[in-house]
Amino acid sequence: MSILVDENTKLLVQGITGSFGARHASLSLAYGTKLVAGVTPGKGGQKFEDVVPIFDTVSQAVNETGATASAIFVPPPFAADAILEAADAGVELIVCITEGIPVMDMMRVKDALRGSKSRLIGPNCPGLVTPGRGEKSHGGCRIGIAPGYIHKRGNVGVVSRSGTLTYEAVWQLTQLGYGQSTCVGIGGDPINGTNHLDVLEMFNNDPETEAIIMIGEIGGSAEVDAARWAKENCKKPIAGFIAGATAPPGRRMGHAGAIVGGEEDTAQAKKRILAECGIAVAETPSDMAKTLLERWGK
């Protein structure tokens, strides 16, 4: 098993004819993802790489292909409407890669998705990967921009606010011979669709996931909330890393959500609380996999 996506997930890409969307749609196809449709208004009837049909609307794509997941590569002014279009079409998993969506737009999206059957990953995220079981892990599902070749099928779940640190943790695990069940980049914006706690709950309920790496950063309380939940509910070993230890208070560092606004928003406070909750905390990015294996007893 895995969480959120697997080799049977049917993916559509909104913005498939743009340079960025096209490049990563092509990489997902090469990885073995079931990319069944693209959506670009005004280009319906064309085909992407001569095999993937392109539609004018998401509803047309879903009705024709049965797509259950969408990757959004749409410019920031239009990305919120793209998310809502996917939700209106009944897409179960919406993965928004777009960075720079206005906060007011995301507030509107967040409100509209309440009670919806659609789950949003992102925005401003690298997406997610469930590695396949074949050669070079092909045959799994890659949605977004993560480099597929670094992944290996296994039993470690990875959840992270940072794309780069997601890749670092995955590569460390793979180099040490430990594969991943699913890797989820939730994004670094202040308003997102899925948080650390949501993903920890899914990993906790997934029989294939035996251990977890949780990567966070300064700003907000998501990592602290997840750690406190895990202390009471999760028996699987967890290693954590918090980026931003040298960030000056009150200054945004990198992600829009990476700004210290309260006492528990600092890296030092988050690291302390994670440790108090039984999570093994890596001191540097290079120690993430090693810290997990020590906590796991491997």
More confident residue, 31 or 267: 31
Active site residue 255: yes
The pLDDT assigned to 205 comes to 98
Q: Which residues are annotated as a binding site?
A: 17-20, 43, 97-99, 167
pLDDT bracket for residue 258 (50, 70, 90):
very low
Amino acid residing at 144:
G
Show Cβ contacts of residue 243 under 8 Å, excluding neighbours closer than 6 positions: 162, 165, 215, 216, 217, 218, 258, 267, 285
- Binding-site residues for substrate: 167
Topology of the domain comprising 152-296: Rossmann fold (3.40.50)
The annotated binding site for CoA is made up of 17-20, 43, 97-99
* Beta-bridge mates of residue 180: 156
| Per-residue model confidence (pLDDT) at position 262 | 53
- Give per-residue pLDDT as tens, 208-225: 999 999 999 988 889 999
Q: pLDDT (tens digit, 9 = 90+) per residue, 18-51? A: 999 999 999 999 999 999 999 999 999 999 999 9
What residues contact residue 76 under an 8 Å CB cut-off, 6+ apart?
98, 99, 100, 101, 102
- Cα separation, 199 vs 155, in Å, equals 15
* Cα pseudo-dihedral 49, 52, 54, 58, rounded to 10: -140
CA angle centred on 207, ends 30 and 228, rounded to 5°: 105
Distance of CA 253 to the CA centre of its chain: 20
Range list for CATH 3.40.50.720 in the chain: 10-121
What confidence tens digit (pLDDT) does each residue in 127-158 have?
999 999 765 556 799 999 999 999 999 999 99
Domain at 10-121, CATH class:
alpha beta
Strand partners, 89: none
User: CATH 3.40.50.261: which residues of the chain?
Assistant: 152-296
pLDDT for 157 equals 98
pTM for this predicted structure: 0.93
